[in-house]
Chains A and B, each alone.
Chain A
């Protein structure tokens, strides 16, 4: 596998990868496949009609992982990629995705990854996605992830999404359809700087009895950045749903939180919580009495908050 130093650094940032990962993987670098491995239970094939892959995980596959990191280091490159995951009944897998862009040119670099998950009965998927940008160029680093989740009865999907640094523009759209007894847990952590803009939209449909969803976002908007968190949970059956948006604003940062709950069944129990505010003065004071400067205290509070 041929990767230069910048590409290797991006891989470390988004996937903690220092060498090739264990298990199945596909590494995409500047729109080319830089390496791929299928295993006995996990088959990765390229799509023929559009750019992207099909990832098929055999039923009852246990304790296996799939890594599909993407790195972009070419200014002006724009790509749309479709990845479909077919997770067989009763499988239990870890999927690590993520995209790192290093743009040192003056043209925008953009990756739009559309991920679809078809999660079989009683399967368990843990999905981790990290976004990261670097590079001194004036060209923007743009990431627009689209995620669609289709969960069969009794399945569990845990999604952890992190975007802390360097991405100028993001529109994230996540939709999910849950059948009876299925459970979706989303943990999103976001920090925006400078003139960055991030928009995150969720629509979760709880269609079967006993379906549950918990969508939690913790975010920090600094400088002149802007964020919008728009989470809607629709209860179409006896179900329970909870969304939470907990945000810190700093400098001239702006955040719009849009709570959305729709109950179409008498036994749908839906809750939304949203809190936006600056760092509490007494938190800064406390850490300063422990010997930190105001800036150090701020950093500790933000780091903890985004843990």
Chain B
């Protein structure tokens, strides 16, 4: 489905160039769920932006369904079937939730049709469908709407950047179900999730560990997971709760 070949990305900074992604090669096979994990600042979001075409690699090639898409822009990649849920969703004055879902679906969608996607991410659709995607929405609400728009795209490759961030624990199981459902309903599709969450790592077919812009490990979950467990890339929910409560886990 997706193949990155020796991809590098550097940005020009005052003190010389800074290499954020360094010679990354990886494959997202068809019908597989791949999770990328790794420490903060490791380059995960940058990699997602390179896949979506928001950034262009300084070296290397990107192939999607066998086609070299390295030189294609964002729109062309989206139309070929790449969807991307941002780590930090964008806010819009005046654009309503249903407008965004409609644009994402690429067709004339009824309000009921748009509502179905919101319900899928556990939102009471009636309360949200007419609201503006602006600063009045909470972080968690925006994050769910972001996921709903990617669902509405029904794309061959869906990339989610830390979808669990800001989602409460009670909705977490729901989120897992969303991903499992996607695999069932979209034919020949693949999912790429960037996450630090153990429960998301647990549903992965394959795991990639990205650190300092390089692939540190990649392979089937059974192989990679034992190696990352106990490192900061896999934070279990209990850890998070106990930390909040101030009790050491």
In the bound complex, do residue A289 and residue B83 qualify as a contact, i.e. CB atoms below 8 Å apart? yes
A237, B149: Cα distance in complex, Å? 49
A283, B132: Cα distance in complex, Å? 14
In the bound complex, do residue B99 and residue A291 qualify as a contact, i.e. CB atoms below 8 Å apart? no
In the bound complex, do residue B74 and residue A304 qualify as a contact, i.e. CB atoms below 8 Å apart? no
Closest to A303 in B: B94
B143 at the interface (CB under 8 A from A): no
* Closest CB in chain A relative to B50 CB, distance in Å: 13
Closest 6 CB pairs of A and B: A304-B94, A304-B95, A288-B74, A286-B90, A291-B78, A307-B94
Sample 14 A-B pairs with CB under 8 A, ordered by A number. A246-B93, A283-B90, A290-B83, A290-B106, A290-B149, A291-B78, A291-B103, A293-B75, A300-B95, A300-B99, A300-B103, A301-B92, A303-B94, A304-B95
Complex partner residue of B103 from A246, A282, A287, A306, CB under 8 angstroms: A287
A307, B79: Cα distance in complex, Å? 27
A117, B40: Cα distance in complex, Å? 61
In the bound complex, do residue B79 and residue A291 qualify as a contact, i.e. CB atoms below 8 Å apart? yes
A283, B153: Cα distance in complex, Å? 17
A283, B89: Cα distance in complex, Å? 10
Looking at chain B's contact residues, is the secondary structure mostly helix, strand, loop, or mixed? mixed
B54 at the interface (CB under 8 A from A): yes
- The number of A-B residue pairs with CB atoms under 8 Å apart is 59
Q: Which of A252-299 contact B (CB under 8 A)?
A: 280, 282-283, 285-294
Binding site for A on B (CB under 8 A): 52, 54, 73-75, 78-79, 82-84, 86, 89-90, 92-96, 99-100, 103-104, 106, 132, 149, 153
A304, B83: Cα distance in complex, Å? 22
Closest to B83 in A: A289
In the bound complex, do residue B92 and residue A289 qualify as a contact, i.e. CB atoms below 8 Å apart? no
A291, B116: Cα distance in complex, Å? 21
In the bound complex, do residue B92 and residue A294 qualify as a contact, i.e. CB atoms below 8 Å apart? no
In the bound complex, do residue A304 and residue B99 qualify as a contact, i.e. CB atoms below 8 Å apart? yes
In the bound complex, do residue A292 and residue B103 qualify as a contact, i.e. CB atoms below 8 Å apart? yes
Closest to A286 in B: B90
Complex partner residue of A294 from B75, B82, B153, CB under 8 angstroms: B75
In the bound complex, do residue B99 and residue A289 qualify as a contact, i.e. CB atoms below 8 Å apart? no
Residues of chain A with a CB closer than 8 A to B54's CB: 285, 289
In the bound complex, do residue B106 and residue A291 qualify as a contact, i.e. CB atoms below 8 Å apart? yes
Closest to B86 in A: A286
Known: A289-B83, A290-B78, A291-B106. A283 touches B92 (CB 8 A): yes
In the bound complex, do residue B103 and residue A290 qualify as a contact, i.e. CB atoms below 8 Å apart? yes
Residues of chain B with a CB closer than 8 A to A289's CB: 52, 54, 74, 78, 82-84
Known: A290-B149, A294-B75. A304 touches B84 (CB 8 A): no
Complex partner residue of B153 from A285, A286, A290, A305, CB under 8 angstroms: A290
A62, B194: Cα distance in complex, Å? 59
Residue among A287, A290, A292 with most chain B CB within 10 A: A290
